[in-house]
Amino acid sequence: MGKPEDTERKKKLKDVEISVPIVYGNAAFWLGKKASEYQSHKWTVYVRGATNEDLSVVVKRVVFQLHSSFNNPTRVVESAPFELSESGWGEFEIAITLYFHNDVCEKPLNLYHHLKLYPEDESGPMSIKKPVVVEFYNEIVFTEPSESFLARVQNYPAVTFPRLPAGFTLPSSAPIEDESKRKRGDTKDHPLNQWFLNFSEADELLQLAAARQQVQAHIAKLRRQISVIDGQNQQFKSSSDQ
């Protein structure tokens, strides 16, 4: 039998979901005409917060699966920022697997990104100063999160915090012991930051996510009310039949 604290830690909140907006992609620099034919580009593939916040409060590690021609093609990144840099000449699909902390989610999330080295306009000149950047926005949604998870992340800007059920109060979150460590995990001062795409629609998407949470909570409330009414009708029918 599990310990009482284990049960409390795993307690789920019904009709609640939280979301974590992320961006994944790559930036590739052409190394110029003097570069080796097989080392023509320096590139970085990454997963970052949509507003460059630290994802390590949710993500435990990220595994990047490179092309089999690379030495050690399975690369594991254990801490934020979740990225890796390499050099080469060819484009290929990279499998990106996100593993979450135990109180977040037991199942990993699989993403796929096609490494882009060359600009869309192949007839135009390549530049050694401006990289080719390809990024995609996504939103990781966790349904029925545990109380311990919500309490732990309630002060982190990387997480879109939900509207909690009426009358419910989370316990105080644990103090952040190393503020400098938390800051190092973000990408606000990243060398590639000036090239990151600005997802202007991100704020709108976050608002839509919040609205969706409210709608789902309202639907769940209506379902409970319907269930109560159905139960009352059944009792009335049973009384009438007697």
Is the domain defined by 17-154 classed in CATH 3.10.580.10? no
Coil, strand or helix at 159: coil
Q: How many helical (H) and strand (E) elements, i.e. helices and strands, does the chain have?
A: 4, 8
**Position with higher pLDDT, 174 vs 164:** 164
Residue 50 confidence (pLDDT) above 80: yes
Residue 29 confidence (pLDDT) above 90: yes
The widest CA-to-CA distance across the chain, in whole angstroms, is 95
At residue 47, the pLDDT reads 97
At residue 118, the pLDDT reads 92
Question: Exposed/middle/buried for 126, CB within 10 Å: 0-12, 13-18, 19+?
Answer: middle
At residue 145, the pLDDT reads 85
Q: What is the rounded radius of gyration, in angstroms, for the C-alpha atoms of the chain?
A: 23
* pLDDT range class, residue 23, cuts 50, 70, 90: very high
* Sign of the torsion angle spanned by Cα atoms 92, 44, 142, 106: positive
Residue 20 confidence (pLDDT) above 80: yes
Residue 1 confidence (pLDDT) above 50: no
- 31 in Cβ contact with 128 (< 8 Å): yes
* pLDDT range class, residue 194, cuts 50, 70, 90: confident
DSSP result, 76-140: EE-SSSEEEEEEES---EEEEEEEE-TTT-SS-EEEEEE---S-S-TTSPP-SSS-EEEEEEEEE
CA-to-CA distance for 49 and 166, rounded, in angstroms?
30
Residue 201 confidence (pLDDT) above 90: no
Number of other CB atoms surrounding residue 119 within 10 Å: 16
CA-to-CA distance for 233 and 214, rounded, in angstroms?
29
Residue 28 confidence (pLDDT) above 60: yes
Residue 91 confidence (pLDDT) above 90: yes
CA-to-CA distance for 111 and 97, rounded, in angstroms?
6
Mean confidence (pLDDT) of the chain: 81
CA-to-CA distance for 132 and 180, rounded, in angstroms?
31
| Least confident piece of the model among 141-155, 175-189, 219-233 | 175-189
Strands 82-88 and 132-143: unpaired
